[in-house]
Amino acid sequence: MTIVPDSFGSRGKTNVCNDPMVMLPGARVLDVVASAEYLASLSFVRRDRIALIGFSHGAGTVVDALQEDLSSVGIRGGVAYYPLCIPEKHTSIKMPLLIVIGEMDDWSPAARCRALQQAGFRYPGFAEIVYYPGAHHGFDVDAQSKSVSGARLFRDGNIGEVFGHYIEFNPVAARDAEARTRALFHKLLE
């Protein structure tokens, strides 16, 4: 079973691409907890076997959420596809987390995930980060390559200029990320 909370629509937003400060991923963590609580209320759901997956902004939500131990609401861990890693904020991963990111990502730069790894995790062994050479943002989306408008958020929290970010499918990275995602979910949800 899958649940996809509409964090944007429920708040009157359609996206955060051009203004990432409209809603930070951390604000969506409450949606994650509420969704897990809802799933746990369903008789056919194994209440202690919930995993998270997020893409881009949603991936940042997964990383933010797993800064806490959410096992009390049945969450076992998660996967974050090309999140914006924040070394000053994301070192307290308390549950299994897989981050997959393209080396060529110009929206969620892989260098920030490397800086997160260099900063060190407070609880070693929970986080794994996989970097895909030649892969861009959206490497898992089998669609025509394109440039999309979006702002860049700087380390100090300021919003940079809005410019085009390159999105491109990379079948090798997509297959590997999917296999790793399936393997982690199999481990977490067995």
All structural domains of the chain with their residue ranges: 22-189
- How far is residue 174's CA from residue 177's CA, in Å, rounded to a whole number? 5
Q: Does residue 115 sit in helix, strand or coil?
A: helix
**Which homologous superfamily is 22-189 in?**
Alpha/Beta hydrolase fold, catalytic domain (3.40.50.1820)
Tell me the CA distances in angstroms from 110 to 55, 62, 100, 116, 135, one per residue in order: 15, 17, 9, 10, 10
List all residues 6 or more positions away from 169 whose beta carbon is below 8 Å from its beta carbon. Answer: 138, 139, 140, 141, 142, 143, 145
Question: Token match 């407070």: residue?
Answer: 122
Give just the sign of the alpha carbon dihedral 69, 72, 76, 81: negative
CB atoms within 10 A of CB 42: 11
Predicted confidence at residue 38, as pLDDT, reads 94
Predicted confidence at residue 101, as pLDDT, reads 98
The predicted model scores a pTM of 0.89
Predicted confidence at residue 122, as pLDDT, reads 95
Predicted confidence at residue 133, as pLDDT, reads 98
Question: Token match 């008789």: residue?
Answer: 43
Record the tokens describing residue 88, joined without a space.
Answer: 């000053």
Q: Which of 62, 55, 64, 149 is nearest to 106 (CA)?
A: 149
- How far is residue 2's CA from residue 39's CA, in Å, rounded to a whole number? 9
Tens place of pLDDT per residue across the chain (190 aa): 788 888 878 888 877 776 666 777 777 899 999 999 999 899 999 989 999 999 998 999 999 999 999 999 999 999 999 999 999 999 999 999 999 999 999 989 999 999 999 999 999 999 999 999 999 999 999 999 887 766 655 544 455 555 668 899 999 999 999 999 999 999 999 8
Q: Which residues of 124-134 are buried (b: 16+ CB within 10 A; e: fewer)?
A: eebbebebbee
Predicted confidence at residue 28, as pLDDT, reads 87
